[in-house]
Amino acid sequence: MIRVFVIISCLFFPAVALACKCVLRGPLCADLPPRDSARTAVFIGKVTQVYPSESMEGYWEALYGPRGGPEVQYRPPSFTDTREGLLRLWRNDLTSEEVRLLSAATNESGLGAFLDSVFWTHGKKVRFTVAERFLGPAAASFVLFTGQGMSDCEMHFKKGEEWLIFARQDRESGRWSASLCDRSSKLVNSKNEVAALRAWKGGRMLAPHIYGRLVDETMRGQARSITFAPLIGVTVTLQTEEGRRLETKTDEKGNFLFENLEKKRYTLDVPLPGWSFGMNAGVAPVFDLMTQPCAQYHGWMREGRSPTP
């Protein structure tokens, strides 16, 4: 029974077994996908379905059935319940070899082999209607898979949301997938990425620019929690090596943009009294637009320190 509990814990709390680790990437405008990439899809779409459920509770019920009311005596799911539930949910989306692997599992080790090869990255199926296509299959709808839990790089999709999606196709299974390590993001936060993609699709190159977002990384309250709330209406400055100064303000999402820049080196600053950059405090970021067409900065700001000089 203890070993069965470990399997269930890994299904619904995968931090027990796996953590998400991503390689940091530069801005999209400096790292656009190859036009001949047959196994990459990039599009804007609206979520129409998350299977089997958006929530952990809904996933549990889809896998094991309703738990019942307080008058029903609770019976922990068995190993067989877990294996048969996974087969029922995913048989139509698995390859014949994956079905064989799962069906042949007679113990925790056998089921673990299926989890390692499939479930961590393909624990949910998400269907989109495609509003604008940049790369990949020309279809009105698109289905991709993502992981089961936050620690396995899952994307938290909800019905009705609009996303800018970057998906990859697995060569063996043919399934498309997206994770936290891809560039996918909600459309409302993807204005600059969409502009870069539209220019790229039209064979144009955007003028040099620097963009980013400022959020509050201050630990607050007794719980010392961080909200990452957007910093709205905050002044952001750029300064060239010759001393020329440019200025803009963040919008309602904390985003900022400097457009049509010259090919120079720029130092970015946020002259907000009582605040400082959370990462590399005291060091103002420098961007070289002589060697790249654009730059991106995500600013985690903290209140209560001396501002960056």
Nearest-angstrom CA–CA distance, 33 and 80: 44
102, 233: one domain: no
The candidate with the shortest Cα–Cα distance to 163, out of 256, 253, 53, 43, is 43
127, 157: one domain: yes
If one counts the domains in the chain, the total is 2
Per DSSP, the residues of 23-85 read: -----GGGSPPPTT-TTEEEEEEEEEEEES-SSHHHHHHHHH-----TTSPP----HHHHHHH
Do residues 231 and 216 touch, judged by C-beta distance below 8 A? yes
141, 290: one domain: no
155, 252: one domain: no
156, 291: one domain: no
29, 84: one domain: yes
145, 33: one domain: yes
200: in domain: no
Please indicate, yes or no, whether the overall pTM of this predicted structure exceeds 0.85. Answer: no
41: in domain: yes
222: in domain: yes
107: in domain: yes
CATH number at residue 253: 2.60.40.10
Please say which residue of 191, 223, 243 terminates a domain. 191
Question: Could you read off the pLDDT tens digit of each residue along the chain, which spans 309 residues?
Answer: 434 444 555 555 444 444 556 666 778 988 888 888 899 999 999 999 999 999 888 988 998 888 766 665 667 888 889 899 999 999 999 999 999 989 999 887 878 777 777 776 678 999 999 999 999 999 999 999 998 654 456 788 999 999 999 999 999 899 999 987 888 999 988 999 999 999 999 999 899 999 999 999 888 888 788 888 999 999 999 999 999 999 999 999 999 999 999 999 999 999 999 888 765 555 678 999 998 899 999 888 988 754 443
134, 281: one domain: no
The candidate with the shortest Cα–Cα distance to 283, out of 307, 254, 249, is 307
92, 221: one domain: no
Domain of 179?
2-191
